[in-house]
Amino acid sequence: MNYRFSQRISTLQPSAIREILKTASDPGVISLAAGNPSAQAFPLEALRRITADVMAQTPIPALQYSVSEGYEPLRQTIARFVSQRESISCAPQECLIVSGAQQALDFSARCLCDEGDAIICESPSFIGALNAFRSYNVKLVGVELLEDGMDIDTLEQALSQNPRTRFIYVIPNFQNPAGLTTSLAKRQTIYALARRHNVMIVEDNPYGDLRFRGQPLPSLKSMDTDGRVIYCGSFSKVIAPGLRLAYTIAPQPVIAKFTVAKQCADVHTNMLTQIVCQRFLMEEDMDAHVSRLRTLYKDKCDLMLSAMDAHFPQTVTYTRPEGGLFLWVTLPQETDMLDFCRRAAARKVAVVPGNAFNVDENMASRSFRLNFSTPSDSQIQEGIAILGELL
Amino acid sequence: MNYRFSQRISTLQPSAIREILKTASDPGVISLAAGNPSAQAFPLEALRRITADVMAQTPIPALQYSVSEGYEPLRQTIARFVSQRESISCAPQECLIVSGAQQALDFSARCLCDEGDAIICESPSFIGALNAFRSYNVKLVGVELLEDGMDIDTLEQALSQNPRTRFIYVIPNFQNPAGLTTSLAKRQTIYALARRHNVMIVEDNPYGDLRFRGQPLPSLKSMDTDGRVIYCGSFSKVIAPGLRLAYTIAPQPVIAKFTVAKQCADVHTNMLTQIVCQRFLMEEDMDAHVSRLRTLYKDKCDLMLSAMDAHFPQTVTYTRPEGGLFLWVTLPQETDMLDFCRRAAARKVAVVPGNAFNVDENMASRSFRLNFSTPSDSQIQEGIAILGELL
């Protein structure tokens, strides 16, 4: 039969990155395209021990249906966790457990936007968020991301010109894809503008714990005096992404609506994982674990940067991230970036073309994204050398 | 601040059942309101052994990001599983792994319906599906569920009067909430009508394996010669619901769109769970396991029915299910069902008022749902005796 799909899904393309990942899983390819944590980053011994213990001691709660809000001890532990690590004060009732931060981004559009409403986001921005937002037939308004965060003049203009804006979407730390961090001054300005225009902010912070240079900056949520910030935190980068576990911190009326969305979407998040991660947070030394990850990623980032310094011509520019997993390379004017990515693929090096992260994918881009967490050290050196030859 | 939510979520109420479950978790309450498998039904030893083994032998794939379609060996195993158990022939590419069957129901509306489109469903029907459908601003059209399936005249009328119908939603085996099974003749008629009106069918079969009386009937999917059935299967009732693992079988163009929805919704399903369940299906004797569950639920169902026969007046009618977890009680005319449920709650027996399962919750109902899988044998006897006194 001829299938007829909804407008919201018909216009969406499969995520370019997830499609690239499929081809990049060919063992002959050096993939600098992924966003996976390093396999060395997983706290294997602790997860093994706690999982066995939960299955031995308390298997029934791990296997039975539970409430949509999430495992109560985990909500409590997270409330303490974000208070200590991000100076966010919240009650457990202001925390919802989700199946990956992607789900919280999806719920933000689902619960806050009618069709035709607008969302303002950084340009470039995280493709998973952009696609989730698009799938609710909203208008995406991109604001250029500068070295220290969104261009404030353009943001003001975007807010004025789009009275149906429901929220501003920000990844303040080591942004995906650009690797840039929003300055304290800009965080304050973005919050003030959201207030003046009475819009919400969705703050996505999957990489915050992975700062390996510079000083930590306060989250937008920690400045949130009037309950307009929805904060998305994730265990994908500090525990393990395959477990699909994350959380959102928001005012109780927002959590109540997100909970209704959660009932519709998948009832509740995997209970075995919720219990294991709650115990991990309680029993393990998170500071020591995170500090180990920072060293791991700093070394990989520095290795990639020094290889780039050695192999790339000076006309090519790139970000020097203070944390996270990504850096962003911009080719000289007149260069055909897509052609470059294709030639790299032909030499079996995968990178992600920058236009994939634009609000309008057809908008030209001279940039591409590199990931330093997934490849091995020798793959980083070899991959960058090949890219350097092609440049 | 004053929050403004999307229309789709503003009109939705939290699931009545999940709200009841929260109060019913009070240990003093006899809950006949849940839909949980019996804790005795979980294959604890096998899950414990396999989980430990996966964490020891192949922890990285269990913890790392993966593809949205699902763990390939699990898709292959499920393709064989539904071929053997449900005579559904499909390729692994026609199978998508989801985080609970609820997610497949959500995707059905998300991918097939624009706002204002119609979905035809049994009345009463599964509240989780109805709420997910409502959240896409679709029109729900209820068709009365008779002893042997939907009333066919009303179904024909509904199809003729609603040209924007996108699919018919059916739970053919031991329906939730009514405990009724659609006859073979009606399955064939529903399929023929869907064909004539060129609409899809979403077949939800979470309980199919739990048949403890009568002869198995072929699924609608097994009759699907032209690719119009989206089949939803689940491991929640035969392995464990807390793991949130299910699958959908559909033609490849539908799976392709569902995969895009999956990328937006939660990227992919928990990998540890996918690997554990794949090995469970390969290594364990599913026939023996399922046969044990059937005996367990048959005994509980028969215990509840004989207690009802003993304690309920003859003016009260109820279904005698051939499988599944639920039965459906209808009070005599002129009885105030909601008042009865309230009086039962005051005596600390929780049941679910039937109107919760209606397309229009404000429509009167004289029925309520009872669950026999969750309560212990003595709770069944005591709970039914109290309900009998109140009747």
Peptide bond into B177 cis (omega under 30): yes
Contact A135 B264 (CB under 8 A): yes
Percentage of residues in chain A having pLDDT higher than 90: 90
Q: Using CB atoms within 10 Å of the CB of residue A122, give its burial: 0 to 12 exposed, 13 to 18 middle, 19+ buried.
A: buried
Helix H or strand E encompassing A371 = strand A367-371
Summarised one tens digit per residue, pLDDT across range A167-203 is 999 999 999 999 999 999 999 999 999 999 999 999 9
| Band of residue A1 on the pLDDT scale cut at 50, 70, 90 | confident
Instruction: Give the chain A residue whose CA is nearest to the CA of B258.
Output: A9
Check residue A12 and give its pLDDT.
85
- State whether B244 and A267 contact (CB < 8 Å): yes
Residue B312: CB atoms within 10 Å: 17
Backbone phi, then psi, for B329, in 5-degree steps? Answer: -110, 135
Instruction: Please report how the helices A337-346 and A377-390 are oriented relative to each other, as an axis angle in degrees rounded to 10.
Output: 130
Cα distance from B270 to chain A (closest Cα, Å)? 5
Q: Which of A35, A243, A268 sits opposite B272 (nearest CB)?
A: A243
- Picking from B6, B226, B242, the nearest residue to A110 by CB comes out as B6
What chain B residue is nearest to A128 in terms of C-alpha separation?
B264
Query: Are B260 and A7 a contacting pair at CB < 8 A?
Result: no
Our CA-based measurement puts residue A140 at a distance from the nearest CA of chain B, in whole angstroms, of 15
Cβ-defined contact of A61 to B268 (cutoff 8 Å): no
Question: Which residue in A259, A206, A260, A264 sits closest to A237, CA to CA?
Answer: A206
Q: Residue range A210-234: average pLDDT?
A: 97
Closest CA–CA distance from residue A65 to any residue of chain B (Å): 5
| Pick from A39, A67, A198: CB nearest B22 | A67
Which chain B residue shows the shortest CA-CA distance from A109? B6
Nearest residue on chain A to B48, alpha-carbon basis:
A55
pLDDT band for position B364 (50/70/90)?
Answer: confident
Residue B330 has pLDDT above 90, yes or no: yes
Contacts (Cβ under 8 Å, ≥6 apart) of A309: none
Cα distance between residue B284 and residue B52, in whole Å: 16
Give the model confidence (pLDDT) of B119-177 as tens digits: 999 999 999 999 999 999 999 999 999 999 999 999 999 999 999 999 999 999 999 99
B contact test, residue of A64, A97, A176 with most B CBs within 10 A? A64
| A66–B59 C-beta distance less than 8 A | no
Q: What is the DSSP letter of A281?
A: H
Q: Which residues of A touch B244 (CB under 8 A)?
A: 99, 266-271
Model confidence at B13, pLDDT cuts 50, 70, 90, reads confident
The reported pLDDT for the residue numbered A363 is: 84
User: What average pLDDT does the structure give for chain A?
Assistant: 95
Q: What is the mean pLDDT of residues A283-302?
A: 97
A248-273 residue pLDDT tens:
999 999 999 999 999 999 999 999 99
* Whether pLDDT at B232 is above 90: yes
Q: 3-class SS at A98? A: strand
pLDDT at A360: 86
Number of C-beta neighbours around residue B112 at 10 A: 25
From B18, B48, B63, residue closest to A243, measured CB to CB: B63
Q: Which residues of A touch B56 (CB under 8 A)?
A: 48
CB–CB contact A128 B261 (8 Å): no
Mutate to test the interface with A, among B263, B269, B278, B374 (most CBs of A within 10 A): B263
Percent above pLDDT 90 for chain B: 90
- Locus of tokens 């046969």: B291
Identity of the residue in A44, A135, A263 whose CB atom sits nearest the CB atom of B15: A263
CB contact under 8 A, A131 and B264: yes
Listed in sequence order, the residues at least 6 apart from B386 whose beta carbon sits closer than 8 Å to its beta carbon are: B30, B344, B347, B348, B349
Tokens 């080719």 sit on residue: A331
Answer yes or no: are the C-beta atoms of A308 and A317 closer than 8 Å: no
pLDDT digits (tens, 9 = 90+) for A332-389: 998 999 899 989 989 999 999 999 999 987 888 999 999 999 999 999 999 999 999 9
Nearest chain A CA: its distance from B26 CA (Å): 14
By DSSP bridging, strand B95-98 and strand B352-353 are unpaired
For residue range B51-85, what is the model confidence (pLDDT) as tens digits? 999 999 999 999 999 999 999 999 999 999 999 99
Question: Are B141 and B118 contacting, i.e. CB atoms less than 8 angstroms apart?
Answer: yes
Contact assignment for A5 to B112 by CB distance below 8 Å: yes
Q: Is the ipTM of this complex over 0.90?
A: yes
Measured between alpha carbons, how far is B205 from B216 in angstroms, rounded to an integer? Answer: 13
Which residues of chain A neighbour B10 with C-beta distances below 8 Å? 257
pLDDT tier at B390 (50, 70, 90 boundaries)? Answer: very high
B20: pLDDT strictly greater than 70: no
User: Which pLDDT does position A78 carry in this prediction?
Assistant: 98
Q: What is the pLDDT of residue A19?
A: 63
Nearest to B270 among A6, A111, A243 (CB): A243
How near does any CA of chain B get to the CA of A122, in Å? 18
Q: What is the C-alpha to C-alpha distance for residues B210 and B289, in angstroms, rounded to an integer?
A: 11
Average pLDDT over residues A211-236: 97
Q: Would the pLDDT of B287 be above 90?
A: yes
Contact A111 B9 (CB under 8 A): yes
Give residue-wise pLDDT tens across range B168-221: 999 999 999 999 999 999 999 999 999 999 999 999 999 999 999 999 999 999
**Band of the pLDDT at A11, cuts 50, 70, 90?**
confident
Q: What is the pTM of this model?
A: 0.96
Closest-CA distance of chain B to residue A163, Å: 14
Measured in angstroms, the CA of B274 and the nearest CA of chain A are apart by: 10
How many angstroms separate the CA of residue B35 from the nearest CA in chain A?
9
**HEC-encoded secondary structure of chain B:** CCCCCCHHHHCCCCCHHHHHHHHHCCCCCEECCCCCCCHHHCCHHHHHHHHHHHHHHCHHHHHCCCCCCCCHHHHHHHHHHHHHHHCCCCCHHHEEEECCHHHHHHHHHHHHCCCCCEEEEEECCCHHHHHHHHCCCCEEEEEEEECCEECHHHHHHHHHHCCCEEEEEECCCCCCCCCCCCCHHHHHHHHHHHHHCCCEEEEECCCHHHECCCCCCCCCHHHCCCCCEEEEEECCCCCCHHHCCEEEECCHHHHHHHHHHHHHHCCCCCHHHHHHHHHHHHHCCHHHHHHHHHHHHHHHHHHHHHHHHHHCCCCCEECCCCECCEEEEECCCCCCHHHHHHHHHHCCEECEEHHHHCCCCCCCCCEEEEECCCCCHHHHHHHHHHHHHHC
A-chain residues within 8 Å CB-CB of B111?
5-6, 9
In this predicted structure, what is the pLDDT of residue B17?
Answer: 61
Residues of chain B contacting residue A102, judged by C-beta atoms under 8 Å apart = 264-267
**pLDDT over 90 at A243, yes or no:** yes
* Neighboring chain A residues of B259 at a CB cutoff of 8 Å: 14
Q: Do residues B119 and B138 touch, judged by C-beta distance below 8 A? A: yes
Q: How far is B122 from chain A (nearest CA, A)?
A: 18
Mean pLDDT, to the nearest integer, of B112-123? 97
Query: What's the whole-number average pLDDT of chain B?
Result: 95
Under an 8 A CB cutoff, do B1 and A52 touch? no
Least confident of A57-61, B295-299, B334-338: B334-338
Task: Output the pLDDT for position B188.
Answer: 98
pLDDT of A54 reads 98
Q: What is the pLDDT of residue A224?
A: 97
Q: How many CB pairs under 8 A join A and B?
A: 253
Q: In this predicted model, what pLDDT tens digit does every residue of A16-58 receive, in sequence order?
A: 665 665 666 677 899 999 889 999 999 999 999 999 999 999 9
